[in-house]
Amino acid sequence: MLNNLIDRIKLPFRKDKELYSALYDILGFYPRKITYYKVALMHKSLGHRATAEELKVLEGKNKGGNSRKDEKYGKKGKKGNQRDKKSRLGKQLNNERLEFLGDAILDAVVGYIVYRRFPGKPEGFLTNARSKMVQRETLGRLAKEMGISKLIMASGRSSMHNNYMGGNAFEALVGAVYLDRGYAACMQFWEHRVMGKYLNVDKVAYKEVNFKSKILEWTQKNRVNIDFRLEEQSMDKNGSPTFIYTVVLEGVDGCTAEGFSKKESQQRASEETLKKLRGDGKFLDMVFAAKTERTKMEETPVSVAPDVTAEADDIVIEHHEDTDDGALTEIEQHIDDLNLDDVNTKPAEKSREDIIAEAEAQAYQEQ
């Protein structure tokens, strides 16, 4: 509290007082070395070149001692280091190194909070809860809600098209806090500024993300064939069944994962495959190349259209008129060839009187 009061008194005399105020609203305390935070907010698209003052702060050259004496000593005894420093001057400076550091710090901070908040929960639950809190999408939303995204220095085009810029800046900012104020300040920032106000830890931890549904939706939209191949089904040392599945897209193997059920295994494999689709351009190209090969015959157009008049030729009966030379038609010729031998005549039917007479005669003979 006393340090914040002193920093507030100094604020009107600060060179970057607007940035100090904005960071105070986000972090809950004033920065001590503003250079860390400036670099944390520099996207590589900005093309910023490192200055001697920035390198001095980032490499910790201003921690105690006499700078003039250090510079003199460097000239006499450490010419190699001095040449190395000069070689770094003017090179592009961005937040990627701080992003790397902040990612590691966040894993430790959030891991400890999750461990303490959910006593008795197994390792798998804790790992999933932490991963959902520190994933790029979550950090990107936090950066937007907390106002970090507005402070990012980048080219206009990159800020419009880079969906991960906010999440990366969030991690870099945590790295800057760690270098400026230490691990305790990072814990304080997450517990008092992020949790509760911007992030419902319990809701996130118990939220079930259906990654299999997400990858099925993606394949349907892009008309990509998908299959879940069972690699192995066995028992672990405790006798519990385990399953290993691989996601296969158009015959191209994606990621493989193990779980204690088919659903869990397929979910994990789907999650890792989705990450691979987003982060591995070569894998994505292989999937669509295989799709193109599969659909090549289906998509090849028929060059010649069918003849629509051919079927109509036999539905009209044509009548031919007699020619002038008196030629007979086929039916007339057939009739002309017939004679009396070809006609089968039936016997004449008997009259009633004849039948009675024949019956009487036959009866008389039998007597």
Cα–Cα distance between 283 and 277 in angstroms, integer? 7
Sorted by where each starts, the structural domains of the chain and their CATH numbers stand as 2-48+92-206 (1.10.1520.10), 211-298 (3.30.160.20)
If one compares 363 and 132, the residue with the highest pLDDT of the two is 132
The answer on pLDDT for 342 being more than 50 is: no
pLDDT of res. 206: 83
Residue 66's pLDDT is: 44
Find the mean pLDDT for residues 91-118: 93
The catalytic residue positions are 103, 171
**How much is the pTM?**
0.54
**Dihedral Cα 224, 225, 226, 227, nearest 10 deg:** -170
- pLDDT at residue 23, rounded to an integer: 92
Instruction: Place 76 in a pLDDT band, splitting at 50, 70 and 90.
Output: very low
What's the pLDDT score for residue 148? 94
Question: How confident is the model over 307-313, as a mean pLDDT?
Answer: 54
Stated as kind and residue range, the H or E segment containing 243 is strand 241-249
Split at pLDDT 50, 70, 90, the class of 260 is confident
Token look-up 């400036």 returns 38
Determine the Cα–Cα distance for residues 169 and 98; give it in Å rounded to an integer.
Answer: 9
Contacts of 125 (CB under 8 A, 6+ apart): 118, 205
Reported as a single tens digit per residue, the pLDDT across 2-61 is 455 555 545 444 556 788 889 999 999 999 889 999 999 988 887 777 777 777 777 764
Q: With CA atoms as reference, report the closest residue to 168 among 182, 186, 154.
A: 154
Q: How many angstroms separate the CA atoms of 254 and 283, rounded?
A: 8
- Distances, alpha carbon 340 to alpha carbons 67, 332, 333, 345, 364, in Å: 141, 17, 16, 10, 42
For residue 23, give Cα distances in angstroms to 15, 50, 181, 300: 14, 22, 14, 59
Q: Which of 201, 207, 189 is nearest to 146 (CA)?
A: 189
Mean residue pLDDT across the chain: 78
